[in-house]
Amino acid sequence: MASPTSLLKRLLLGRPFRSDRLQHTLLPKRIALPVFASDALSSVAYAPDEILLTLSIAGASAYVFSPWIALAVVVVMLTVVASYRQNVHAYPSGGGDYEVATVNLGPKFGVGVASALLVDYVLTVAVSVSSGVANLGSVVPFVATHKVMIAVTAVVLLSAVNLRGLRESGTAFAIPTYGFVIVMGGMLLTGLVRVFVLGDELRAPSADLVIQAEHSVTGFALIFLLLRTFSSGAAALTGVEAISNGVPAFKAPKSRNAATTLLLLGAISVSMLVGIIWLARLTHLQFVEDPALQIVSGPEGYVQKTVTTQLGETVFGSGSILLYVVAGVTALILFLAANTAFNGFPVLGSILAQDRYLPRQFHTRGDRLAFSNGIVFLALFAIVLIVGFQAEVTRLIQLYIVGVFVSFTVSQVGMIRHWNRRLRTERDPEARRRMHRSRAINTFGAGLTGTVLVIVLVTKFLLGAWIAIAAMAVIYLLMLAIRGHYDRVARELTPPDEGRAVLPARNHAIVLVSKLHQPTLRAIAYARATRPDTLTAVTVNVDEKDTRDLQGEWERREMAIPLTVIDSPYREITRPILDFVASTRRQSPRDVVTVFIPEYVVGRWWENLLHNQSALRLKGRLLFEPGVMVVSVPWQLASTASKNLDRLDATLSRTPARGPRVAPHGTPPPGVPPVVSTPQGQSGPVDSGPVGTGRD
């Protein structure tokens, strides 16, 4: 029977995939769009909120600037989309901005871009989920009062879905993503038709509110406010870079499919952003930063709803089923927007691990061929942010988009150098014209995104952007330290070009003994089978009676090897054994000492608490001694019989079992040597068996 933990894992994640099924997890464009573009598509659900609430600081009259802010964001978005279409064609391996910066600007720039992207992915999850909770809370009061708990639950569910595999998560998220596009498009189209065709006068629920400016904003202060508004609205660009990082997940032709998906992403995002801002202006919608202070007169108990919820109520009517559909799909797409990060973060982490900037565990695929460790780490860090900032979108978004514009800018500068290098060797006129065009696009993109980055840093630094910058610096230094460690270990382990490894002069074997029982006999038999130069059994005298009994039993059985008794007046086990091992090896530096430590193999978790404690302490300490080899000799207790490992392996992998663990007619299982007789007539298995060390 499989353990309850294994059964729960299979229930949540499904059956494991064979490595040769990796090709079946690749995504067609119709699935890749919701997988990699849900973040950028959903950004238009909260970017208009941030534009309007920032402008509200100057009063309702400042809303007149919202279309121009939206237009500026659209220009940047189209430029970034055009630039990244060059990236995916030039670097289809999936490294994205990290690879572009590393190849063209050097490893330090690549690590800097990677640190910015890792921080941005974590913030993507936190901001998207928190915004989804805010939208759902606009129509469901229970959600508004328990937003942190619901946001954390959403992150856990998203991570579980992604642990099931990329293609499966993409299929699960495709319907909600396309549903959001259809519902939002239908709402905007219906509203514009009612205004311009039917001549209806639509007024948002907040249109008649009287709001006051928090500050008197004129001159330079107004310019600064507009720049801050633009930097908040630029959150709509987040997620565009995820496609360049996920090119390997596309079906062939990978680069062309990724570029097409980028184009679709840009067209849909721009249309929805412009439509929401336009309809908000037509309906006189108002959205403020602090309703308690800025709203002078309004209905008693007024609760401010998000921009998309207000537009849904204006177009479809209060209490309409379509209003709840708008709120529901908006909240759902915001929850699922985090899926972009769940696909981008693990892939980038895998590439960084392969380049030795992150622990190698990030490069390992799980049962479902997903980078499970990256998914789990992303979920944990996002939950920390959600709890720390109480799922407040306005607070979290101040940390946002710094990282993504760092990667945008550095990547475009790297692409300029890429095209310059190609142009020095290319002689075909048509190819050179294409390269000149691509370089011009990347040059314009670098200038524009660099300008936006400066604006973001200036306007948001004191509002929280410094936290993101500090996190990037810490991750940057940490990755360099990890790479330095791996490089040092590699140099230390590299064999010399000349000369052969020096063989040990002699091998001294020591078997640790507490009692003369079956495990001890097996350990002695196995130690003798290794044919050491010297062999001795060692016990520590912590109890006079037990030690005398052991010596008497040793003599009665006429054991062929000597028993050395180490006195321990303070009843300590580890230090006397370490001193004995060190003294044995000191006789010759070229000698090695092999210590055989018997260990019990148990079948129940709680049995580990009752056995092997002294053995584990000794093993952990002996591993630090130079010239000492530690051999664990296991002895399977009867409780391990319930662990049918072959059946468990066959169940998990759905492959034929390798045969029974106990062969018929009393013959030992394959790979287990038979029991042999010692010269003294004592029988014991040669291959494995535990002996309690000290007083187990």
The 10s digit of each residue's pLDDT in 231-275 is 878 877 777 777 776 677 777 778 888 888 888 888 888 898 999
Res. 511 pLDDT band, cuts 50 70 90: very high
pLDDT of residue 131: 80
Assigned token pair, 488: 């040092």
Assigned token pair, 170: 């993409």
d(CA 495, CA 601) in angstroms, rounded, equals 36
Q: Which CATH class is domain 506-646?
A: alpha beta
Which of the two residues, 116 and 237, has the higher pLDDT score? 116
CB-CB contact of 205 with 313 (8 Å) = yes
Percentage of the chain with pLDDT > 70? 82
Res. 279 pLDDT band, cuts 50 70 90: very high
d(CA 179, CA 284) in angstroms, rounded, equals 27
pLDDT of residue 680: 34
Rounded to two decimals, what is the model's pTM?
0.69
pLDDT of residue 669: 38
pLDDT of residue 115: 92
pLDDT, average across residues 609-629 = 82
Residue showing tokens 């664990």: 632
pLDDT, average across residues 293-312 = 79
The residues spanned by each domain of the chain are: 25-91+166-296+303-336+393-485, 506-646
Which of the two residues, 92 and 650, has the higher pLDDT score? 92
Q: Please name the helix (run of DSSP H) or strand (run of DSSP E) that holds residue 634, with its range, or none.
A: strand 628-636
Checking if the pLDDT of 32 tops 50, the result is yes
Checking if the pLDDT of 364 tops 90, the result is no
Checking if the pLDDT of 13 tops 60, the result is no
pLDDT, average across residues 557-577 = 87
Residues 6+ apart with CB under 8 A from 639: 602, 603, 604, 607
Residue of 354, 201, 362 lying closest to 283 (CA atoms): 201
The 10s digit of each residue's pLDDT in 134-145 is 877 877 788 888
Crossing angle for the helix pair 66-90 and 96-105, nearest 10 degrees? 70
- 465: three-class secondary structure by DSSP: helix
Res. 340 pLDDT band, cuts 50 70 90: confident
d(CA 197, CA 174) in angstroms, rounded, equals 33
Res. 480 pLDDT band, cuts 50 70 90: very high
Among 57-61, 361-365, 607-611, name the most confident range: 57-61
The 10s digit of each residue's pLDDT in 438-465 is 889 889 888 888 888 888 888 888 777 8
pLDDT of residue 216: 67
Average pLDDT, the chain: 79
For residue 346, is the peptide bond before it cis, meaning its omega torsion is within 30 degrees of 0?
A: no
pLDDT of residue 655: 42
> What sign does the dihedral 188-191-196-201 (CA atoms) show?
negative
CB-CB contact of 369 with 25 (8 Å) = yes
pLDDT of residue 474: 94
Checking if the pLDDT of 651 tops 90, the result is no
